[in-house]
Amino acid sequence: MSEKIYVRKCERYTLWEATRPIEVDVEKLRKCEPPYDGDSPEELLTYLNDHVFNNYDWSETNGEVYGEDQSYDLTFDDVETEVYSDTREKYAEDWLDVGVPNDEWRKMGGFEVFASTVE
């Protein structure tokens, strides 16, 4: 190995994040387009996922019925989240990589890996 070679430490962990809870007014949803006609938490979740989540058009269409700000909030567009669980507090998987910096290896953080201790 006459060329320069580098070693780096890597770490993998998981973060769970959530937005603040938003109260759902089911009676107003029943007056929206399309109207919600379910009766269970599972049906509500399906309706929100299929028609409201990330759907700015739903917010525009139903703003007068549901409330402009409230309907926009339900789309979860441009919301802040807060970390509620972080595996680094208990464990993380770490390993060593040997290789060289290489901008073409973007998926590996700009590092061309020749050998690694990760499985």
Give pLDDT tens digits for 6-36.
999 999 999 999 999 999 999 999 999 999 9
Domain boundaries, the chain: 6-116
Closest to 19 (Cα-Cα) out of 87, 86, 78 = 78
Q: Does residue 88 contact residue 80 with C-beta atoms inside 8 Å?
A: no
Per-residue pLDDT at 71 exceeds 80: yes
Q: pLDDT value at position 23? A: 96
With pLDDT > 70 as the criterion, what percentage of the chain qualifies?
98
Taking the model in full, what pTM does it have? 0.74
SS3 of 38, please? Answer: coil
H or E stretch at 113: strand 111-116
Mean pLDDT of the chain: 95
Better-scored residue on pLDDT, 91 or 43? 43
